[in-house]
Chain A
Amino acid sequence: MSAFKVEIRVMPRASLLDPQGQAVQHALHALGFEGVAAVRAGKHLVVELQAASREEAAARARAMCDRLLANPVTEDYLVAVESA
């Protein structure tokens, strides 16, 4: 078993209204940052776990996303495994 650090990005599905991202975009505009076409706000989770291989670490992280970390109705996720 080795230690892995898994970085998980959970984002609101592109087809859904993301009012947090819109509010941030408006704030950037108000601060004078021009040319900001869109902002979307999501979550970043860092999970440290023990697994036999990189593949197993990724598979377990995906299972975590499917069961708890992401809502399949409203969110998409991306899993990236690093050796700890």
Chain B
Amino acid sequence: MRRVAVVVFPGSNCDADTLDAARAAGSDAYYVWHRDTDLRQADAVILPGGFSYGDYLRSGAIARFSAVMQAVAAHARAGGAVLGICNGFQILCEAGLLPGALMRNARLKFLSRPVRVRVEATDTPFTRAYERGDELTLPIAHGDGRYVADSETAALLEAGGQVVWRYSGDNPNGSTNDIAGVCSAGRNVVGIMPHPERRNARVLGGEDGARVFFSLEARNATQHAGDMRAVDGRHLRV
């Protein structure tokens, strides 16, 4: 059982879903308030989606200076697993823990709908329970989801296998190279625009996002990733 800290900022709104998804995968998940400086021996930290500080100035720009972010940066520097979902991804980019930035969607509209994404890298703490090339249906809910990186950075990301998820077919926001999620050079810090925590049970329309959270529990497991179904039943418990 892994200890998973879900950070709550003023304006986070996917914190409860993320906590539930991590618990459903068998993790010992708990909240950490943005003013806290102690991650309480977390194995993994998740920055959830939402609109921290009302997205004022730029999405994630103010949240990155929260007290808790120093602890998150120290955790990341020590090789600890960090996942940013949607607004959490924006915060990680603003904090410089991930390269690039998230800008206004190319067609300006706020988009809230399922999209298709392809898993491009499975050697991260949050994708090891997937197979490379897996096609997933995950919901997006963002206005500032267009991932941009200068051509040099984008080339480095591609060469280093740091593109973790890519939009398949339709690119909803105009992101560079159809990027939906990336990881750091050390592969322990991961960011994704779609919401795996909103698609982790059949009752939510599908389970394609569940393995993001099972991946944490599979970290030291000897079983093959294909055996996830055995654990999968857990989040059907009511």
Contact = CB atoms under 8 A, between A and B. Distances in A.
Interface of A: 12, 15-17, 19-20, 23, 68-69, 71, 73-74
A71 B107 contact: no
B94 A71 contact: yes
Contacts of A68: 57, 61-62, 65
Given A17-B174, A68-B57, A68-B65, A73 B104 contact: no
By secondary structure, the B interface counts as loop
B108 A23 contact: yes
B101 A20 contact: no
Contact of A74 (B57, B101, B107, B174): B101
B133 to A, nearest CB: 29
Contacts of A71: 58, 61, 94, 101
What's the interface size class on B, roughly? 20 to 34
Given A17-B174, A68-B61, A73 B150 contact: yes
Given A20-B108, A73-B101, 17 more contacts: A16-B103, A17-B103, A19-B104, A19-B106, A19-B108, A20-B104, A68-B57, A68-B62, A71-B58, A71-B61, A71-B94, A73-B93, A73-B100, A73-B148, A73-B150, A74-B101, A74-B148
Interface in B135-169: 146, 148-150
B105 interface: yes
A60 B65 CA distance: 18
Interface string B95-113: 0000011011111100000
Contacts of B57: 68-69
A16 B107 contact: no
B58 to A, nearest CB: 6
12 contacts: A16-B103, A16-B148, A17-B103, A20-B104, A68-B62, A68-B65, A71-B61, A71-B101, A73-B148, A73-B150, A74-B101, A74-B148
Contacts of B103: 12, 16-17, 74
Contacts of A17: 103, 106, 146, 174
B105 A19 contact: yes
A43 to B, nearest CB: 8
Contacts of B94: 71
Contacts of B100: 73
A68 B57 CA distance: 9
A69 B150 CA distance: 20
Contacts of A23: 108
Interface in B32-53: none
A54 B65 CA distance: 28
Nearest to B103: A74
Nearest to A68: B61
A22 to B, nearest CB: 9
